[in-house]
Copies of this chain bind each other. A is one copy, B any other.
Amino acid sequence: MASQRYKLTLAYRGTHYHGWQRQSFTDNYTGPKPPAGHGIPTIQEIVSRAIEYTTRHPIRLVGSSRTDSGVHAKGQLAHFDTTITQIPPDDFRRAINNALPDDIIIRKVQPVDDSFDVITCAQSKRYQYAIWTETDRPVFFPDLAWHRWKPLDVASMREAARRLVGEHDFASFSRPHHKREHTIRTVRSCAISQRGPLLVIGVEGNGFLWNMVRIIAGTLVEVGSGRFEPADIDAMLAARDRRAAGMTAPPQGLYLQWIQTFEPE
């Protein structure tokens, strides 16, 4: 039977989901029990179900980044194969969106070659980390930014951010785990923009380790509050030890902004 691969670009508010990755029901999960055959609410689970509701056959949805619980995405990528080949992509997009909840949306559906893979074809990614610096907490969006009410020295934070740019071993800026080959990554840019009480740290690179952007954000905030000097970043990188860097910032400030891929010939 003819099969077609589709690339999806999607956005979601991670607040009410247990991250991207599909998970079966476990004792750690305290929410309502999902229906038989379904896992706990994750983005992959909910989007898979919405696609299957449209295709009427099981699919396997592959995501480019495994965003953690509470983390948001403006431009996550995913792909899947289906026997549905005749539908115009934008009609397909609308059909899936109609089966999705309010806080997840497919921005784009594109037919791609079977050799295209959102994991292996990812070339660069960009994350944003949002910090709300007003004394009063962000009443309208407590789940969309990290609230830091003590004054931050943004000039120091910017100097520290510059020291992270380049090819480095980011072992100190990662939660340790054993499935990766190495911890060397290239950060192409790391910069801070400010609009009123909102600080946004933008980090772009060829790939990211687990919790890397959240540890970068937490460390930069600790530079801003005076716990570290900007120059300490060099020693942190050299240490290759998680304990050398600063705190891990909470998930609600983190947004996967976009992922660039190359298209295989």
Identify the A interface with B (CB < 8 A): 11-13, 72, 102-105, 107, 136-137, 139-142, 144
Among A102, A104, A107, A140, find the residue whose CB has the most chain B CB atoms closer than 10 A: A140
Are A103 and B139 neighbours in the complex by a CB distance under 8 Å?
Answer: yes
A142 and chain B: residue at smallest CB distance: B102
Are B141 and A105 neighbours in the complex by a CB distance under 8 Å?
Answer: no
Among A12, A102, A139, A142, find the residue whose CB has the most chain B CB atoms closer than 10 A: A139
A105 and chain B: residue at smallest CB distance: B139
Are A137 and B102 neighbours in the complex by a CB distance under 8 Å?
Answer: yes
Beyond A103-B142, A140-B141, 6 additional pairs, beta carbon < 8 A: A11-B139, A13-B140, A72-B140, A102-B142, A104-B139, A105-B137
**Which 3 A-B residue pairings sit nearest by Cβ, starting from the closest?**
A102-B142, A105-B139, A11-B139
A11: chain B residues within 8 A (beta carbon): 139-140
Are B142 and A105 neighbours in the complex by a CB distance under 8 Å?
Answer: no
A103 and chain B: residue at smallest CB distance: B139
A136: chain B residues within 8 A (beta carbon): 105, 107
- What's the least CB distance linking A104 to chain B, in Å? 7
A143 and chain B: residue at smallest CB distance: B102
| Bound Cα distance A140, B137 (Å) | 18
| Bound Cα distance A107, B136 (Å) | 8
| Bound Cα distance A12, B138 (Å) | 10
Task: Select A144's contact among B72, B105, B140, beta carbons within 8 Å.
Answer: B140
20 interchain pairs, CB-CB under 8 A: A11-B139, A11-B140, A12-B139, A13-B139, A13-B140, A72-B140, A102-B137, A102-B139, A102-B142, A103-B139, A103-B140, A103-B142, A104-B139, A105-B136, A105-B137, A105-B139, A107-B136, A140-B141, A140-B144, A141-B141
| Bound Cα distance A76, B148 (Å) | 25
- What's the least CB distance linking A134 to chain B, in Å? 10
- What's the least CB distance linking A148 to chain B, in Å? 15
| Bound Cα distance A72, B141 (Å) | 12
| Bound Cα distance A136, B12 (Å) | 12
